[in-house]
């Protein structure tokens, strides 16, 4: 029995040793392969960089001039020339000649030099959704000879507007006015203006840039809120708390002097009456500081993928309206989202930041996580606005409110087009339901009552 057990133990030990040896060999092999790949990459890096430089220097400019159809015609013509020369095919040679002739004619349309002075002017670089964004493009011929008519292109976001410039004499100029649609919140790149020469067949296309590029901010739509609508913004005295301070605005009581106390707070009359130094003690106040938490989680908005983006735009407008009111009243406020804080040093920077925010599905970054982050980031907040969508349920609202410190007023605003305006309470959390931006002021006055 013992001999059998010893043999089995030896065999098990041998198998374990072989497996360990194989694992070590595999690890060494993987390490060697990885090191080999790294070495090959280091040796190939100069060649790769050289190839990239050559591509940018020679191929990329050619690709900007020759269209895909032009490359197809050139390749076909080259192939037909080779076949005609190799096999004596007259048809192939004739087809190659026709393709070459098309390319030669196309080159004639794009060669030449034109001089223009182009001025691109946007009346305003920041507009609200629905406002008119008007601009002008002035093209002047600074040369001493006339220029032929040409086409000017103006990229606006993903679209391109075309303007036909007629023949211009020496010193003559041509002006075109344009209006940019502002139906949705966006940051649009306007320009640069470029002249375009292109053959009728669409084989070659030459572009020359004549102006700089501008950014047009289409800010979210907002609604005006009067002072009482914001409801929770206090003046300098703030909201008193139970914390005591040795230096603040609100007087609380007198106490005996202790080493280190500021002598400016000694109450001399009481000290003379009691025979001991007495200092004033103050009630610590909470300064007016609004925190606006805007949820970017698209899963909290709308019932479908078509409605959700519209509801999110309503939420952005709500955050912009509250923040703009705070900036107008010169109140301290912060705006946060799952993407991080938004600049609020000025109302303009806040509106620019809210113009850039984009919603997306965030299964692991809900409004609950956003509220916790907001409470940690803005510990001095006196009022917290939680802006989310209609799909956020009462359980999530309750979980979010648990992260709000005691003594801080918390208001959640559920945004969804078509919803009836309503006000409810979940514990200390005030929940407002908003279906139309124009109802925001009325709802805030209800919450303030």
Q: What is the pLDDT of residues 94-114, one digit of tens each?
A: 999 999 999 899 888 888 777
pLDDT band at residue 337 under the 50/70/90 scheme: very high
Mean pLDDT is lowest, of 19-23, 354-358, 361-365, for: 19-23
Residue 21: per-residue pLDDT? 60
**311-333 pLDDT per residue, tens:** 999 999 999 999 998 888 888 89
Percent of the chain with pLDDT over 70: 80
pLDDT band at residue 228 under the 50/70/90 scheme: very low
Residue 242, pLDDT > 60, answer no
Do the strands 126-128 and 214-219 form a parallel or antiparallel pair, or are they unpaired? parallel
Residue 284, pLDDT > 80, answer no
pLDDT band at residue 8 under the 50/70/90 scheme: low
The answer to whether the predicted template modeling score (pTM) of the entire model surpasses 0.85 is: no
Mean pLDDT is lowest, of 37-41, 219-223, 393-397, for: 37-41
Residue 16, pLDDT > 70, answer no
Averaged over 357-367, what is the pLDDT? 89
- CA torsion through residues 298, 302, 305, 307, sign: negative
Residue 244: per-residue pLDDT? 42
């Amino acid at each position: 029995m013992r001999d059998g057990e010893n043999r089995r133990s030896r065999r098990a030990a041998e198998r374990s040793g072989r497996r360990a040896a194989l694992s070590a060999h595999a690890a060494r092999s993987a390490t060697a392969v990885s090191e080999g790949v790294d070495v090959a990459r280091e040796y190939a890096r100069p060649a790769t960089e050289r190839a990239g430089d050559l591509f940018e220097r020679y191929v990329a400019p050619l690709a900007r001039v020759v269209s895909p159809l032009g490359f197809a015609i050139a390749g076909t013509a080259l192939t037909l020339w080779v076949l005609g020369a190799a096999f004596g095919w007259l048809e192939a040679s004739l087809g190659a000649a026709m393709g070459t002739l098309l390319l030669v004619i196309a080159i004639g349309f794009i060669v030449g030099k034109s001089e223009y002075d182009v001025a691109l002017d946007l009346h305003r670089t920041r507009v609200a959704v629905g406002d008119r964004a008007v601009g002008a493009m002035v093209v002047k011929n600074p040369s001493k000879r006339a220029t032929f008519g040409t086409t000017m292109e103006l990229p606006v976001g993903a679209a391109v507007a075309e303007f036909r410039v007629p023949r211009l004499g020496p010193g003559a100029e041509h002006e075109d006015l344009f209006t940019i649609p502002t139906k949705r919140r966006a940051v649009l790149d306007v320009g640069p203006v470029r002249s375009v020469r292109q053959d009728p067949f669409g084989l070659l296309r030459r572009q020359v840039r004549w102006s700089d590029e501008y950014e047009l901010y289409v800010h979210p739509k907002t609604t005006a809120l009067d002072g009482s609508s914001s409801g929770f913004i206090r003046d300098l005295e703030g909201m008193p708390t139970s914390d005591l301070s040795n230096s603040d605005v609100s007087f609380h009581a007198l106490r005996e002097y202790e080493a280190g106390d500021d002598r400016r707070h000694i109450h001399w009359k009481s000290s003379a009456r009691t025979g001991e130094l007495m200092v004033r003690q103050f009630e610590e106040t909470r300064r007016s500081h609004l925190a606006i938490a805007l949820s970017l989680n698209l899963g909290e908005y709308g019932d479908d993928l078509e409605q959700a983006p519209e509801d999110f735009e309503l939420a952005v407008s709500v955050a912009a309206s509250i923040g703009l009111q705070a900036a107008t009243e010169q109140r301290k406020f912060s705006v946060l989202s799952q993407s991080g804080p938004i600049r609020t040093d000025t109302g303009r920077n806040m509106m620019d930041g809210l113009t850039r925010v984009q919603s997306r599905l965030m299964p692991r970054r809900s409004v609950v996580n956003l509220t916790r982050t907001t409470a940690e980031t803005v510990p001095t907040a006196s009022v917290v606005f939680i802006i989310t969508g209609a799909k956020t349920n009462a359980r999530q609202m309750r979980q979010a409110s648990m992260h709000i410190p005691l003594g801080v007023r918390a208001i959640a605003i559920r945004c969804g087009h078509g919803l009836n305006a309503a006000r409810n309470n979940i514990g200390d959390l005030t929940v407002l339901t908003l279906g139309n931006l124009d109802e925001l002021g009325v709802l805030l006055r209800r919450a303030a009552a």
